[in-house]
């Protein structure tokens, strides 16, 4: 990042304001949607393994629940702020609306580096989070899920804590749970595969051959791993690199292999936070390059699947002229300044809350299965996800064509219209 440090919420408001202008949105509706409806800030005391009590800062932001219960992940990250949680909650509202699933938007966070905690400390921290929030979450109120730094196992502990507090087994309070513990088959792959379903639709519209295309991916967490696997296995294309954060060196690296890139192998040498074992990668013929190398590669598709603000006013100029498409697996990877350059260059954009909506879509299926106490086979889950994402992509694409607007603006137009309609039908505005 150069210049001012990124404020993701300012970025989310800027994107929204731009489309609110295009839509001539009523001032009161605009005022309502620019801010979250509710926020919770709380302290979580946790007994650490050494016997000391450590206090963690927790958040939950509920942006809008006009279309259904609030829905969104829980992020554990050392640089989490209330503004990053606000931004992510706001994007969840648009994400659920663009996927047209009957849920609102929320997000939670804890300021912590989870890799520094033992298993027991993690369990006590997530149970502590539920103890602070349980009266304000629930299957009909607000349903958390995993995000950066949180895992299915943590969701399982949180479901257990909530069930104990309310006195009833309540699997639908949280999604992204482990399979066998109330989770849905296909949830692990869902976000990354969803990215691939939207890329497939974009290839069709742009007349590109997936088998002849190459991709470069930023990140190697849950989203990036399954996007890489899906790009190869579902689309028949090739991936040439991913990147990851090396905790020992305290910096990111790009791991590349132009001829023989195997995401399943890399997944097998990766820890639960997406860190690749450098020595094993090198021994298997991979090259270790600097953090930004992924963005400069000569490929047709780039998939930022890490954190916010990675393609910004400076780094946008590093994008190789060969790039035809950006598929945003991460939330908020592109700043408004970079968007203006991308639009100018004519690179096709699949915006974040459309591109990565597969995760929350399968979370929705998980809660439906929990409610019905009946679990679907994996292929059924993935086929239903594909159906929803294909429709969502085409709704946005058609809006972009008919209104002659950038894909991100079109996605906002589709999402805002649906949320406003629900608010009007409920008599809020
Ligand atoms: N954290 C994911 C996202 O940003 C999934 C949210 C969910 O499943 O509720 O979309």
What is the residue-wise DSSP string for 31-91?
HHHTS-SEEEEEEEEEE-TTS-EEEEEEEEEEEE-SSSSEEEEEEEETT--HHHHHHHHHH
Q: Any catalytic annotation for residue 378?
A: no
The CB-side HSE value for 300 (13 A sphere, CA atoms) comes to 16
pLDDT above 50: residue 2: no
Confirm whether 213 is domain-assigned: yes
Confirm whether 207 is domain-assigned: yes
Confirm whether 322 is domain-assigned: yes
In angstroms, what is the span from residue 49 Cα to ligand 1's centroid? 30
Q: Whose CA is nearest to atom 7 of ligand 1?
A: 360
The CB-side HSE value for 294 (13 A sphere, CA atoms) comes to 26
pTM as predicted? 0.97
Last residue of a domain, one of 109, 143, 170: 170
The total number of residues shown for the chain amounts to: 429
End-to-end CA distance of the chain: 39
In angstroms, what is the span from residue 260 Cα to ligand 1's centroid? 32
Last residue of a domain, one of 320, 355, 390: 355
Q: Which of 106, 145, 191, 358 maximizes ligand 1 atoms within 8 Å of its Cβ, making it the mutation to test the pocket?
A: 145
Between CA 151 and CA 118 the distance in angstroms is: 14
Is the minimum distance from the CB of 331 to ligand 1 under 6 angstroms?
yes
Tell me: do 318 and 347 sit in the same domain.
Answer: yes
What DSSP designation does 297 have? S
Nearest CA-CA partner of 68 in 104, 32, 106, 105:
104
Confirm whether 177 is domain-assigned: no
Tell me: do 166 and 212 sit in the same domain.
Answer: no
Query: At 273, is the pLDDT very low, low, confident or very high (cuts 50, 70, 90)?
Result: confident
Mean pLDDT of 71-100: 98
* Minimum-distance ligand 1 atom for the alpha carbon of 73: 1
Tell me: do 347 and 260 sit in the same domain.
Answer: yes
pLDDT above 60: residue 10: yes
pLDDT above 90: residue 157: yes
Last residue of a domain, one of 296, 320, 355: 355
Q: Which of 139, 141, 146 maximizes ligand 1 atoms within 8 Å of its Cβ, making it the mutation to test the pocket?
A: 146
Please write the tens of the pLDDT for every residue from 12-45: 999 999 999 999 999 999 999 999 999 999 999 9
Is the minimum distance from the CB of 329 to ligand 1 under 6 angstroms?
no
Confirm whether 392 is domain-assigned: no
Mean confidence (pLDDT) of the chain: 97
> What is the longest distance spanned by two Cα atoms in the chain?
63
> Of 107, 122, 177, 297, which is the active-site residue?
107
Tell me: do 118 and 43 sit in the same domain.
Answer: yes
Is the minimum distance from the CB of 308 to ligand 1 under 6 angstroms?
no
Q: Residue 62 has what pLDDT?
A: 99
Is the minimum distance from the CB of 183 to ligand 1 under 6 angstroms?
no
Q: Whose CA is nearest to atom 8 of ligand 1?
A: 360
pLDDT above 50: residue 1: no
Domain assignment of residue 209, given as a range? 188-355
Confirm whether 327 is domain-assigned: yes
Axis crossing angle, helix 407-425 with helix 8-23, rounded to the nearest 10: 80
Is the minimum distance from the CB of 358 to ligand 1 under 6 angstroms?
no
Query: What percentage of the chain carries pLDDT values higher than 90?
Result: 98
Q: Residue 50 has what pLDDT?
A: 98
In angstroms, what is the span from residue 322 Cα to ligand 1's centroid? 31
Query: At 6, is the pLDDT very low, low, confident or very high (cuts 50, 70, 90)?
Result: confident
Please write the tens of the pLDDT for every residue from 363-421: 999 999 999 999 999 999 999 999 999 999 999 999 999 999 999 999 999 999 999 99
In angstroms, what is the span from residue 364 Cα to ligand 1's centroid? 10
Q: Residue 401 has what pLDDT?
A: 98
Confirm whether 329 is domain-assigned: yes
CATH number at 303 reads: 3.40.50.720
Is the minimum distance from the CB of 145 to ligand 1 under 6 angstroms?
yes
Confirm whether 88 is domain-assigned: yes
Tell me: do 234 and 151 sit in the same domain.
Answer: no
Mean pLDDT of 298-322: 97
Tell me: do 146 and 250 sit in the same domain.
Answer: no
Q: Residue 27 has what pLDDT?
A: 97
Between CA 353 and CA 415 the distance in angstroms is: 10
- Cβ neighbors of 125 (< 8 A, separation 6 or more) are 44, 46, 56, 110, 112, 117
CATH number at 131 reads: 3.40.50.10860
State the total domains in the chain: 2
Please write the tens of the pLDDT for every residue from 210-265: 999 999 999 999 999 999 999 999 999 999 999 999 999 999 999 999 999 999 99
At 138, list the tokens: 């629930």
Please write the tens of the pLDDT for every residue from 179-217: 999 999 999 999 999 999 999 999 999 999 999 999 999
SS3 of 103-161: CCEEEEEEECCHHHCCHHHHHHHHHHHHHHHHHHCECCCEEEEECCCCCHHHHHHHHHH
At 208, list the tokens: 């590109």
Tell me: do 309 and 339 sit in the same domain.
Answer: yes
* Minimum-distance ligand 1 atom for the alpha carbon of 88: 4
In angstroms, what is the span from residue 266 Cα to ligand 1's centroid? 24
Q: Residue 4 has what pLDDT?
A: 53
In angstroms, what is the span from residue 285 Cα to ligand 1's centroid? 34
Please write the tens of the pLDDT for every residue from 348-374: 999 999 999 999 999 999 999 999 999
Indicate the SS3 state at residue 216: strand
């Amino acid at each position: 990042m150069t210049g001012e440090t990124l404020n993701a919420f300012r970025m989310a408001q800027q994107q929204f304001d731009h489309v609110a202008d295009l839509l001539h949105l009523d001032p009161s509706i605009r005022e309502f949607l620019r801010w979250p409806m509710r926020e919770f800030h709380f302290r979580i005391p946790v007994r650490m393994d050494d016997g000391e009590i450590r206090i963690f800062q927790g958040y939950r932001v509920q942006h809008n629940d006009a279309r259904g219960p609030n829905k969104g992940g829980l992020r554990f990250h050392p640089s989490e702020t209330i503004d990053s949680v606000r931004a992510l909650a706001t994007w969840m509202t648009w994400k659920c609306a663009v996927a047209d699933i009957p849920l609102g938007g929320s997000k939670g966070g804890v300021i912590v580096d989870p890799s520094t905690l033992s298993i027991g400390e993690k369990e006590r921290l997530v149970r502590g989070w539920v103890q602070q929030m349980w009266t304000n979450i629930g299957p009909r109120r607000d349903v958390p899920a995993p995000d950066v730094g949180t895992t299915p196992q943590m969701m399982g502990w949180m479901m257990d804590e909530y069930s104990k507090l309310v006195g009833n087994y309540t699997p639908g309070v949280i999604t992204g749970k482990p399979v066998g513990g109330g989770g849905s088959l296909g949830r692990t792959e869902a976000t990354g595969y969803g990215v691939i379903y939207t890329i497939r639709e974009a290839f069709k519209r742009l007349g590109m051959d997936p088998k002849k295309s190459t991709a470069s991916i930023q990140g190697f967490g849950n989203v990036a791993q399954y996007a890489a696997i899906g790009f190869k296995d579902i689309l028949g294309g090739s991936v040439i690199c991913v990147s990851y954060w090396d905790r020992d060196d305290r910096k990111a690296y790009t791991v590349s292999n132009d001829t023989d890139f195997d995401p399943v192998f890399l997944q097998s040498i990766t820890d639960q936070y997406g860190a690749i074992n450098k020595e094993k990668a090198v021994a298997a013929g991979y090259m270790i390059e600097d953090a930004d190398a992924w963005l400069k590669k000569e490929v047709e598709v780039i998939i930022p699947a890490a954190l916010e603000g990675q393609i910004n006013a400076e780094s946008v100029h590093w994008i190789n002229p060969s790039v035809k498409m950006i598929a945003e697996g991460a939330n908020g990877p592109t700043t408004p300044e970079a968007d203006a350059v991308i639009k100018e260059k004519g690179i096709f954009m699949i915006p974040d809350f459309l591109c990565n909506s597969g995760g929350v879509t399968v979370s929705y299926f998980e809660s439906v299965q929990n409610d019905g106490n009946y679990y679907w086979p994996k292929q059924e889950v993935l086929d239903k996800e594909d159906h929803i994402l294909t429709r969502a992509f085409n709704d946005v694409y058609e809006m972009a064509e008919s209104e002659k607007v950038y894909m991100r603006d079109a996605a906002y137009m589709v999402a805002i219209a649906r949320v406003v309609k629900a608010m009007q039908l409920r008599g809020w505005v």
